[in-house]
Amino acid sequence: MDDLFAGWVGWFVASFLGLSFGSFGNVAVYRIPRDGLSVRKPARSFCPRCSAPVTWRDNIPVLSWLLLRGRCRACGVSISWVYPAVELVTGLLFAGFWWRLGPPAGGAPVDVLVPWVMAFLCVVVSAIDLEHFIIPDVITLPGVALGLVASLAFPSLHAAHAMFDATSPHGSSLVVALTGMAAGGGSLWLVGRLGNLMLRNQVEAAGVEDAMGLGDVKWMAFAGTLLGPILVLEAILVGCFAGALVGILLKVHARVTGGDGPVGLPFGPFLSVGILLELAWPGLAWDVMTLIHA
């Protein structure tokens, strides 16, 4: 059984599940920010312009979009490349975690479950944040609750943590999750307060209330329940560096091409990169920093 999953069958299942979850992710990305649409109703996906239902053969992840050359079969309206991208990225992340933590790396198939769920949510949150500049409460609030319950029920989630105590696994696992929640949400909230002070003029000019929304705070509180207090802080550091780097590159690009440059960048996608990196390589950010320091 283990040998079977370590071979091509495992890769096939991981990629297939990833592409399928990516396909469902598109439904979530489209419907969650729009009032009156839920991920359950209507059951069938439809074309946003002509309302034609999407048949199963036009709903195969990535492949259908390529075969249709990015156009609706009924009305010919162009379908955004974001749809196949969401499917492809989710598929690659599922396969990546399988390779890094699953049977090919000597782990058990269940070891990838939490990273898979988080990979799916990272893609959904990033796609929604890029388009709408929000991270919906429907994802983050149940996420916090689920993260705490999962930590209490499955102490192995936090077994590698320094605060984990093998003599009281369930209790200490919950403590790691709660501390992670406070560290993730609290530190980002502080960064947001500081950002408001430092960027007061830009924030007022942009006509928004906050340099950083509370969606990011709840997102990292959720991530903290799964990563614990140390790794979630590293994930935020990675997010800050990645966001600053991309922000600078976009400003330089705007100066060279004479454009305006971005008014603001959504933070969610960068934080998600940090979360996924720390899930795949716990402590990586710290190791890189100490390496640079040495």
In the numeric block, which tokens belong to residue 120?
A: 């799916």
Q: How far is the CB of 54 from Zn ion (least distance, A)?
A: 9
The Cα 29–Cα 139 span in angstroms is: 11
Q: How far is the CB of 90 from Zn ion (least distance, A)?
A: 24
Q: What's the DSSP call for residue 50? A: T
| Identity at 164, one-letter amino acid code | F
Question: Quick one: 54 or 214, whose CB is closer to Zn ion?
Answer: 54
**What CA–CA distances, in Å, run from 80 to 66, 70, 77, 133?**
12, 7, 10, 18
Q: How far is the CB of 48 from Zn ion (least distance, A)?
A: 8
Interacting residues toward Zn ion by CB under 5 A: 47, 49-50, 52, 72, 74-75, 77
Question: Quick one: 34 or 49, whose CB is closer to Zn ion?
Answer: 49
Q: How far is the CB of 51 from Zn ion (least distance, A)?
A: 7
In the chain, what are the helix, strand and coil shares in percent, each to the nearest 5?
A: 70, 0, 30
Q: How far is the CB of 71 from Zn ion (least distance, A)?
A: 8
Question: Quick one: 47 or 214, whose CB is closer to Zn ion?
Answer: 47
Question: Quick one: 71 or 253, whose CB is closer to Zn ion?
Answer: 71
The Cα 294–Cα 285 span in angstroms is: 14
86 within 8 A of 128, measured Cβ to Cβ: no
Supply φ then ψ for residue 124, to 5 degrees. Answer: -60, -50
Q: Please tell me whether residue 46 adopts helix, strand or coil conformation.
A: strand
The Cα 68–Cα 72 span in angstroms is: 7
| Identity at 179, one-letter amino acid code | T
**What CA–CA distances, in Å, run from 194 to 175, 189, 212, 224, 290?**
28, 9, 10, 21, 26
Q: How far is the CB of 55 from Zn ion (least distance, A)?
A: 12
In the numeric block, which tokens belong to residue 207?
A: 């006509």
Question: Quick one: 79 or 236, whose CB is closer to Zn ion?
Answer: 79
Question: Quick one: 66 or 77, whose CB is closer to Zn ion?
Answer: 77
Q: How far is the CB of 68 from Zn ion (least distance, A)?
A: 11
194 within 8 A of 186, measured Cβ to Cβ: no
For the chain, what's the residue count?
Answer: 294
Q: How far is the CB of 42 from Zn ion (least distance, A)?
A: 15
Question: Quick one: 52 or 134, whose CB is closer to Zn ion?
Answer: 52
Question: Quick one: 47 or 114, whose CB is closer to Zn ion?
Answer: 47
